[in-house]
Amino acid sequence: MAEKIAFVGLGIMGKPMAKNLLKAGYELSVYDLFPDPVKELEKEGAKGCKTGSEASSNASITITMVQDGPQAESAICGDGGVLEGASKGHLVIDMSSIAPGVSERIGKKCNEKGVSFLDAPVSGGEPFAISGDLAIMVGGSADDFEQAKPLFNVLGKTSILCGKHGAGQITKLANQICVGANIHALAEALTLAAKAGVNPETVYKAIQGGLAGSNVINAKAPMMVDRNFNPGFRIELHYKDINNAMEAARDLDVPLQVTANLQQVLTALVIQGEGKSDHSAIAKYVEKLAGIEIKKH
């Protein structure tokens, strides 16, 4: 491969994404706050680094994948961050899901140093990060998008340029609203079935082929029925995204009634200690109100 890549942030999403780049033949420098995933990637051929700046100094493109806006801003713009090691002409791709305003601020700081920037949040959770089938939503210039496209083709099934800096994040928030509302509606539907004495698994199979069918239902209904809430995408992360959506809505004077209700549901679940569970555990909120569990008959 002609370009050397740095990858900063090797968590539940970042680590499998970095592995896919290695498998595709890219020369990779990696950094994470925790040493274990760095050591794991070193065993697979990556160069481990002590800071984000060290990683970016070995590359022409740096990808960051961290939890939220403060972490992204620190990883890119902070002491020892990516910008310290990036030279003019470098491309920074932040694939974290953060507030659009933070992406715009990071993009401005990058551009002031002569560094290009894309915000490129993803959808699909850990399973699609592993399989390389993520949906990638991108904000930035068309030229930078074209430069990043070969990497996106490795990491995702689709990648779409949505507009200027921050547009990728707005698109991701729209995605998270739809996903969260769909999971909540599915939980209510299957809880209703369970309360009525109808097998929730049968209901799921009956509706999946009709207009109600969706990727969300196909992924999350079996988890609810099997009582499997091991995280593919954690409630605490969806909660973060919905909080960012409500912040953006407030800034733009857009009333979001369904999203506001979803925010309260997720708030309750986090308070109840379900933050580390998969977001299919939204079902637990509905079940608690109804006094019944969704499970096979």
For residues 198 and 30, give the distance between their C-alpha atoms in angstroms, rounded to a whole number.
50
Rg of the chain (C-alpha set): 20
Indicate the DSSP class of residue 280.
G
Residue 136 makes CB contacts below 8 A (sequence gap 6+) with: 95, 120, 121, 122, 152, 155, 156, 158, 159, 160
Q: Is 254 exposed, middle or buried (0-12, 13-18, 19+ CB in 10 A)?
A: exposed
For residues 190 and 14, give the distance between their C-alpha atoms in angstroms, rounded to a whole number.
33
Token output for 110: 């990058």
Token output for 14: 């970042």
Token output for 260: 């506001």
For residues 199 and 205, give the distance between their C-alpha atoms in angstroms, rounded to a whole number.
10
Residue 171 sits at the vertex; the CA angle it makes with 170 and 177, to the nearest 5 degrees, is: 90
> What's the one-letter identity of residue 221?
A
Token output for 120: 């490129």
For residues 15 and 9, give the distance between their C-alpha atoms in angstroms, rounded to a whole number.
7
Residue 172 is a catalytic residue = yes
For residues 65 and 288, give the distance between their C-alpha atoms in angstroms, rounded to a whole number.
34
- From 15, 19, 47, 172, active-site residue: 172
Q: Is 124 exposed, middle or buried (0-12, 13-18, 19+ CB in 10 A)?
A: buried
Q: Which residues are catalytic?
A: 172
